[in-house]
Structure 1
Amino acid sequence: MPPWRRRYSPIPSACFLTAAVFIGLGSVAVQILVPYAAHLSAPALRGKAVGDVMSGLMLGIMLARPVSSLITHLSSWRMVFIISTLVMILLTLTLGYVLPVRRPAPGLRYRALMASIGSLAVHNLTLRRRALYHAALFGAFSLFWTVTPLLLTGPEFHLSQVGVALFAFAGVAGAIAAPIAGRVADRGLSKPATLFAMLAAGTAFLLTHIGDTGSHLKLGILVLAAILLDFGVTMNLVIGQRAIFALGEHYRSRLNGIYMATFFVGGAIGSALGGWAYAQGGWGLASLLGTALPAIALCYFASERPATE
């Protein structure tokens, strides 16, 4: 069998895609924990609770790339999945032991619950706004982290996988926005904080045009942009969740499901657009699209009436 056939055998690819599907199905546990934390907290401290949980979520997202790259460099890519499996088993046992049991009052059956999701999305303006705001910002976030590894490993910077991993650690600093955003939202400052988050995301892309390509200054500016972008996106995420969780106790999980699904679609679109833009016009075109996404959210935010949080 020719080497290219052994390398590109469809069986390993099918196994990998199947595993990716099950990982995606299992990852929804996070979206169960966030409304669960909101349910357990007092209304006055709900933003703080959501912010604390989301800080852990964002740390996991931002640490995943650099930690897995470093593990692969020191051992192999298989070790990443072995360690992840062991951590998930330990986490499952821990959560099963420490989390209190919640038994919701009997209500709609599963089919009726699913059917009600469309009605919630259509008739709830705050939910729609917050979901679309974050779809734009998460699209910019995904675009940035899809394209920057291509830029950093390309002929301009010549960074290795370890170098990209160290660069990605910069994004971890943005996770500190989660608890800050939660406390700000609890004080009734959601609107100015949302404005700041959108401006931070857009400014992050504009900053990347400072300095000569491949220079140490340019690399430092990219690090600063990563921190600022992640800070803004995390802040907007927490404020949005705090806002939708205040809409109704009995359907928080459904509200969160709509919110998360909407902005993950935005993230997928941003990632796809980023790869295409970088192939067509390099970082210049990609950063232009990255700037446009928060700008679109900002224009939509400007039309918000005082009664909308």
Structure 2
Amino acid sequence: MSHSDTASAQAKAVVGRPAAPPVRPLLFLVMAICSGATVANVYLAQPLLELFARGLGISSASAGTVVTCAQFGYAGGILFLVPLGDVRRRRPLLSAMIAATTVLLLLAAAAPGLSVLAAAAALIGGVTVIPQVLVPLASELAPPERRASVVGNVQIGLMTGIIGSRVIGGLVGEALGWRAVYVLAAALTALTGLVTLLLLPKEGPRTGMPYGQLLASLPRLLRQEPALRHSCVLHGTLFGAYSATWTTLVLVLTQEPYGYSSATAGLFGLLGLSGAFAAPWAGRFIDRRGPGPIITAALVLALVSAGAYALGGSTLAFMIAAVLLVNVAVQWSQIANQARIFSYLPEARSRANTVYMVAVFLSGAIAAALASACYGSYGWSGVCAVQALLALGGLLALPAMRRYDLRHAGATA
């Protein structure tokens, strides 16, 4: 439950909401698959840059614009579309997003040149924020005693989609061309989206606040809700730590003493699935013991990973261990912090998720830029130090979260 006047006002903004009906596990499975299929649309371009360059007659550097446009579009969609989940019925909202994403993917597949492809990528990123609507919805539909487990399972689908898009997209692109990748993505988006819509339970009428007022409530929510601020800082620092080393990892792996090709270095991304495998246990633990221990463990793992990364500059075993540990850490932290804010803010889950994800994205972007600068000046050890300092910053913020949760023990049940 919420603990401020803001949350009380938000509760009044949504009326006529019935108690959540029993939901079959099949729905949560389909939501996870749909999340993976749709978040993949943001990352489709990453393994296709050389194919764009050859097919459109442009440089590889110019082709990178497509990736940038998709990322900016996704950030914009989180900020401007996801809050609607609090005040609009989710079935029509998701229907519009799924239909628009499918059409735009087909437009990208038919793009005659870079400008159209980049514009389509930006729009695709903006409307394929479907997972960021589904995660709060899954939290709402889940029984309170299984909330973290359900959120964790949907997150598994999301992470698998991010990693799978890079691997499968590259393979399909090499075999059939980059346009086929976008056609396949359109088919998967339409199919998984349609099945999800068919399984969603009916909602009662919802009376929402005007759109301008809805957006204006976002900074107020952050200002007045300590639980949201805590989780933004805690996961923001950890995600920043993760982004710092992950952004520059390929530079280390393609130089001595490793000297791997870009393709071989890219396979290290598959180690990111370690976080997906560790997520179910974390969800069950959070449902029994609360999010605090998992958040603490995640930050400790991130700190240990920084040390392993530093040793991994010359020893492969330490490098692999570091990648595994930090990916587990980022998934544990994501599940725990989202479950926490959804429990404290049941009437503002979509807006809380928007504020949270924007804070995390900004932290990751700033940390990646800082890491790149440190790599140029201090090498890999400087990047590892950035990860360690950010993980330490998160650990220093833990006491504030613990004091707040102790004062409101039982409020998130």
- Same structural fold, with TM-score higher than 0.5 when normalized by the shorter chain: yes
The answer to whether residue 388 in structure 2 is matched with residue 291 in structure 1 is yes
Match for residue 135 of structure 2? 34
Cα distance in 1 for partners of 2:171, 2:374 equals 28
User: Using CA pairs below 8 Å that are at least 6 residues apart, which structure has the higher relative contact order?
Assistant: 1
The answer to whether residue 275 in structure 2 is matched with residue 224 in structure 1 is no
- Opposite residue 167 of structure 1, the aligned amino acid is F
CA gap of 1:91–1:301, structure 2 versus 1, over 3 A, is same
Cα distance in 1 for partners of 2:313, 2:358 equals 39
Cα distance in 2 for partners of 1:77, 1:161 equals 19
The answer to whether residue 222 in structure 2 is matched with residue 121 in structure 1 is yes
Q: What secondary structure, in the 3-state scheme, does the structure 2 residue paired with 1:106 have?
A: coil
**Given that residues 238 and 391 in structure 2 are in contact (C-alpha distance below 8 angstroms), is that contact kept between their aligned partners in structure 1?**
yes
Matches within 5 A, 1:188-199: 188-199=289-300
CA gap of 1:272–1:75, structure 2 versus 1, over 3 A, is farther
Using the size of structure 2 for normalisation, the TM-score is: 0.67
Deviation at 1:74, TM superposition (A): 5.1
**Given that residues 70 and 162 in structure 1 are in contact (C-alpha distance below 8 angstroms), is that contact kept between their aligned partners in structure 2?**
no
Match for residue 248 of structure 1? 345
Cα distance in 1 for partners of 2:115, 2:173 equals 22
Cα distance in 2 for partners of 1:197, 1:142 equals 15
State the Cα deviation string for residues 174-228 of structure 1 (Å, max 9, x = none): 2123222221211133222111100101111111232662xxxx22221111111
CA gap of 1:19–1:155, structure 2 versus 1, over 3 A, is farther
**Given that residues 307 and 384 in structure 2 are in contact (C-alpha distance below 8 angstroms), is that contact kept between their aligned partners in structure 1?**
yes
Match for residue 65 of structure 1? 166
The answer to whether residue 276 in structure 2 is matched with residue 276 in structure 1 is no
**Given that residues 68 and 80 in structure 1 are in contact (C-alpha distance below 8 angstroms), is that contact kept between their aligned partners in structure 2?**
yes
State the Cα deviation string for residues 58-112 of structure 1 (Å, max 9, x = none): 2222333344344455555544434323322322232232323334532322222
Matches within 5 A, 1:1-309: 7-8=58-59, 12-72=113-173, 76-103=177-204, 105-210=206-311, 213=314, 218-308=315-405
- Opposite residue 197 of structure 1, the aligned amino acid is A
Deviation at 1:306, TM superposition (A): 2.5
Of all paired residues, the percent bearing the same amino acid is 31
Deviation at 1:246, TM superposition (A): 0.8
Q: Which stretch of the first structure deviates more once superposed, 125-134 or 282-291?
A: 282-291
Cα distance in 1 for partners of 2:296, 2:183 equals 42
Deviation at 1:275, TM superposition (A): 2.3
Q: What secondary structure, in the 3-state scheme, does the structure 2 residue paired with 1:157 have?
A: coil
State the Cα deviation string for residues 37-76 of structure 1 (Å, max 9, x = none): 0111111111111111111112222333344344455555
CA gap of 1:127–1:233, structure 2 versus 1, over 3 A, is same
Q: Which stretch of the first structure deviates more once superposed, 202-211 or 27-36?
A: 202-211
- What is the Cα-based RMSD across aligned positions, in Å? 2.4
- Opposite residue 17 of structure 1, the aligned amino acid is A
- Opposite residue 100 of structure 1, the aligned amino acid is P
- Structure 1, unpaired ranges of 5+: 1-5
**Given that residues 312 and 319 in structure 2 are in contact (C-alpha distance below 8 angstroms), is that contact kept between their aligned partners in structure 1?**
no
**Given that residues 142 and 267 in structure 1 are in contact (C-alpha distance below 8 angstroms), is that contact kept between their aligned partners in structure 2?**
yes
How many equivalent residue pairs? 300
**Given that residues 136 and 342 in structure 2 are in contact (C-alpha distance below 8 angstroms), is that contact kept between their aligned partners in structure 1?**
yes
Q: What secondary structure, in the 3-state scheme, does the structure 2 residue paired with 1:7 have?
A: coil
Deviation at 1:158, TM superposition (A): 1.9
